[in-house]
Amino acid sequence: MKRTIIDLWNGEISPITNCGNGDPEIDNLVELIERNCKNLENTLNESQKETLEKYVCCVNEYLDLITEQAFCDGFCLSSKLLTESLL
């Protein structure tokens, strides 16, 4: 257990790396998002493109934070389950 926590901390284990890989629903959504973003970019002037880029950066940062929080919540829950199973 100690080694796993150390590996997680050092980034040697990345649970999110494989999250959704090969899932056709996620793959389709990613493709749709990218296509729609490109189509939108093609209709915008330079100022609007900058605003869109800032928006996309904020959304990506938000998603990173939500993903991190979900991992922490899941880790806490699994720790509680493990503790209860040992008692």
Task: List Cβ neighbours of 41 (8 Å cut-off, separation of 6 or more).
Answer: 49, 52
Cα 68 to Cα 62: distance, rounded to the nearest angstrom: 10
Q: pTM value?
A: 0.67
8-26 tens-digit pLDDT = 777 787 766 656 667 899 8
Give residues with Cβ within 8 angstroms of 60, minimum separation 6: none
Only one residue has tokens 């490109």, namely 38
Q: How far apart are the first and last CA of the chain?
A: 17
- List pLDDT tens digits, range 27-55: 899 999 999 999 999 999 999 999 999 99
Domain limits of the chain? 47-87
Measured distance CA(30)–CA(34) in Å, rounded:
6
